[in-house]
Amino acid sequence: MSETYSGKRYSNFVNVLLFLFPIGIINFKTSGDLILFLLMLMGIYAIFTTKINPFKHPKLKLFSVLSVAYFGVIILSILMSEKPLELLHFTNRDLAFLFAPLIALAIYKTDIDFNRLILAMKLSLIMIGGYILYQHLINGVITDWRLSRGITPSLTMMMLVFSWVNINYENKYSLLLTAISSILAINVIILADQRGTFLGLMILTILFIYLNRKPTINQHRNKIFIMALILTVASLLSAHPKLINKFSKGVDNVESWVTKQKASTESSTSVIRLEMYKGGLLAAKEKPLFGYGYRNTTGPASKFTNSQNLSGPISMYNHLHNTFINTLVFGGSIALIIVLALFFLPLKKFWQTYKAKNNTEYAILGTLLMSGYIILSSTNGMLGGVAENAFFVLFLSIFLPKIIKK
């Protein structure tokens, strides 16, 4: 077997895995884990055949160090906690970060079919969007969100903005597919009634429009896209007004919490989360360096709430619905510094590449990925679940090495 033929077979196999990942991650449970496992095996193969060390290679070093460092602070927080044996089994949720250097190497040695990857995202959005819409039309109630009502719309939103990256250059058939997938995906986000995800979509859409403000061709397409997006969102919101009502109630609940008027809003989602944040910050002051241990945050936070009625509901959650506060509580200031580096150092690289007009597509996708996770992390635990971790590791493995110069 020739070396060229072997390399082509390798690239074809990895490209198939990359094509299947967007389709599987939000449509079929555990498929993301399986694909990452296969990519890890390909990374091991690449180490022996290319003799590349991902911790020393200039294009892979930053991602490898950051991902393993994040897994390291999780282990450190568990070892320094009062119940290490009880918490240790939770680390299987974050193994994607431990094996991320191998995954990145496997992808780096592949000639990525970029257009096919974007196509896979659109097909995935059509599949999940059609499935959710079918349940809504037939049953009136969505009983199966595949992952969950919180995770599915978040990852759907991320892939939705990714799928727009070629919008200024698409032919009419690709543009039609973009329109269909976008409408179905936006409908998923609105039906989920997740205020944080909807606001994230609005912010990322504005960011996307800014990043694509000077297309080299089809200069009027951005204006048409903006108008179509506004009409789509307005139409879907008028058909499903529940999300707007949740925004209104949320404002009232926050006002009641701030003014200490704790009547009917006592157990509302907004009040619970605000008490989580306050309790988490107060709990972090007790163990500022190493924290309370991974997945051990809501219990400590519940002890610092002023409300007797909310300490129970808060302790029943498995995270504090804010990645940064949650990290500070479980791992202390050391873990928070690593998470901030994990988010903001790649974002800086992507932004610098975009400004230099190099590898623009990957720079835009990377900026959207990091910005999306930062925005969603303000109201969700975006590094706490298997699917969110797999999504982050896979796409950062693709985007970041592409924009780093040797």
Is 216 a residue whose pLDDT tops 60? no
Question: How high is the pLDDT of residue 264?
Answer: 43
Q: Which of 125-139, 221-235, 237-251, 319-333 has the lowest mean pLDDT?
A: 237-251
Question: To the nearest 10°, the Cα dihedral for 332, 333, 336, 341?
Answer: -150
How far is the C-alpha of 220 from the C-alpha of 13, rounded, in Å? Answer: 38
Average pLDDT, the chain: 88
Q: Report the sign of the C-alpha dihedral through residues 204, 206, 209, 211, in that order.
A: negative
Q: Which of 108-112, 123-127, 213-217, 287-291 has the lowest mean pLDDT?
A: 213-217
Question: How high is the pLDDT of residue 362?
Answer: 95
CA gyration radius, the chain: 22
Is 262 a residue whose pLDDT tops 60? no
Question: How high is the pLDDT of residue 290?
Answer: 92
- Model confidence over 361-391: pLDDT tens digits? 999 999 999 999 999 999 888 998 899 999 9
Is 265 a residue whose pLDDT tops 50? no
What is the DSSP code (8-state) at residue 358? S
- Model confidence over 125-149: pLDDT tens digits? 999 999 999 999 998 889 899 998 8
Question: How high is the pLDDT of residue 305?
Answer: 77
Question: How high is the pLDDT of residue 15?
Answer: 96
Among 246, 247, 237, 163, CA closest to 204: 163
Question: How high is the pLDDT of residue 263?
Answer: 44
Asked if 38 and 390 count as a contact pair (C-beta separation under 8 A), the reply is: no
Question: How high is the pLDDT of residue 397?
Answer: 97
Among 354, 366, 355, CA closest to 392: 366
Is 266 a residue whose pLDDT tops 60? no
Band of the pLDDT at 260, cuts 50, 70, 90?
A: low
CA atoms within 13 Å, Cβ hemisphere of 253: 18
Is 254 a residue whose pLDDT tops 50? yes
How far is the C-alpha of 38 from the C-alpha of 33, rounded, in Å? Answer: 9
**Domain locations in the chain?**
129-238, 243-321
How far is the C-alpha of 373 from the C-alpha of 362, rounded, in Å? Answer: 16
Question: How high is the pLDDT of residue 19?
Answer: 97
CA atoms within 13 Å, Cβ hemisphere of 300: 28
Is 97 a residue whose pLDDT tops 60? yes
Is 117 a residue whose pLDDT tops 80? yes
Q: Which long-range contacts (CB under 8 A, 24 or more apart) does 213-221 make?
A: 215/168, 215/169, 216/168, 217/168, 217/169, 218/168, 218/169, 221/167, 221/168
Is 308 a residue whose pLDDT tops 70? no
Is 218 a residue whose pLDDT tops 80? no
What is the DSSP code (8-state) at residue 81? S
Asked if 379 and 323 count as a contact pair (C-beta separation under 8 A), the reply is: no
- Model confidence over 26-74: pLDDT tens digits? 999 889 999 999 999 999 999 999 899 999 999 999 999 999 999 999 9
Asked if 253 and 270 count as a contact pair (C-beta separation under 8 A), the reply is: yes
